[in-house]
Amino acid sequence: MRIGFIGIGAMGNPMAKNLIDAGFDVTVWNRSGEKCQPLVAAGARQADSPAECATADVLITMLADDAALDAVLREHDLIGAMAAKTVHVNMATVSTATAVELAQRHASAGKAYVAAPVLGRPDLAAAAKLNIVAAGPADAIEQARPALGRIGAKVWPCGDEPVRANAIKLATNTMLVSAVESMAEATAMTAAHGIEPGDFLEIITSSIFSCPAYLGYAPAMEKRDYDNPQGFKLRLGAKDIDLALTAAHAGNVPMPMSATARERLAEAMAAGDGDKDLSVLAETARRRANV
C-alpha cells in the first residue's frame, strides 16, 4: 500500500515512522522540509510538493490547525491532485465547521474523505498506541484501515459523516483539560493543608482516578517539570477548547465547565506557560492559592 503523509510534526513524525517500519511505501512532505530527513533515512521518499503525496492509496494529513490544512489544500490543489481511488484521511484536530466543509469539498470533487483524529500524546504515537476515531464512508475507512492499524491501538468507527469524529475529539479534549485542571486545584488545596503533592497524587492515581487522563499528568505535577517535549502543549489545549465552545454555541449547547477551564488556560498563557505541558496548570493553581 502506498501512503502519502503530509505534516511531520510532534505527532506526525512518529506516526509516519510507524508506517515506514511496517513496510508501507511512504512519501512524506512538510513545509519545513528538513523535518522529513529522519524519515527519509528510515526509508521514506520526500516529495517536492504535497501533490506528489496525493496520488497514493491513502493520503494522510496531520497539520497543526484549520488554517494550515486549508493553506495546503488550496495552494496545492490537493483535492484535485488526488487520484480517483485515493482516500484522504485527515487525522488532525479541526473545527466542526471545517470538518463539514472538507466533506463537502471532497464530495463535490468525487473524492473520498475520512476524518480520523487521534486520542493520545506523542509518546503514545511513537508506541502506536493511539486511539483513532474515524468517520466517513465505510468503504473508505476500510481502505485506510491497514494503515490506521499500524498507527494506533484501536480504530473507533463512528458513522459516515466525518464531522462526528471531530466532534468526539473536541469533546474529549475539553474533558481532558477539565480533568487536569481539577487535579491541579485539588493538589493545591491539599498542599495548603501540609500534604505533599506527590503523596496526594499517588493516592488518587492509585485508587479512584487510576486512568490515563490523570496518570499521564500526575508525574509532571509532582516533579514540577513541565517541559516535556512528548507532552500536550497548553496552548493547543486552549485552541481545542475554543473550537469545542464554538461548536457548542452553534448548537445552543451550554458548556460552563469548559468555559471556566478555558479561563484557567488563559491565565496560564498570560504567565508565559503556553508552550509548556498541560500539567503546568498545577503551577497556576499553586500561584492562585499561594502554596
Cβ–Cβ < 8 Å for 72, 102 = no
Q: Tally the residues of the chain.
A: 291
DSSP, collapsed to helix, strand or coil, labels residue 196 as coil
Cβ–Cβ < 8 Å for 79, 26 = no
Question: Is 129 part of the annotated catalytic residue set?
Answer: no
Considering the candidates 111, 169, 233, 239, report the single residue annotated as catalytic. 169
Quote the CA–CA distance of 125 and 160 in Å, as a whole number.
25
The three cell numbers of residue 17 are 515512522
DSSP, collapsed to helix, strand or coil, labels residue 179 as helix
DSSP, collapsed to helix, strand or coil, labels residue 192 as coil
Quote the CA–CA distance of 233 and 206 in Å, as a whole number.
25
DSSP, collapsed to helix, strand or coil, labels residue 58 as strand
Active site residues: 169
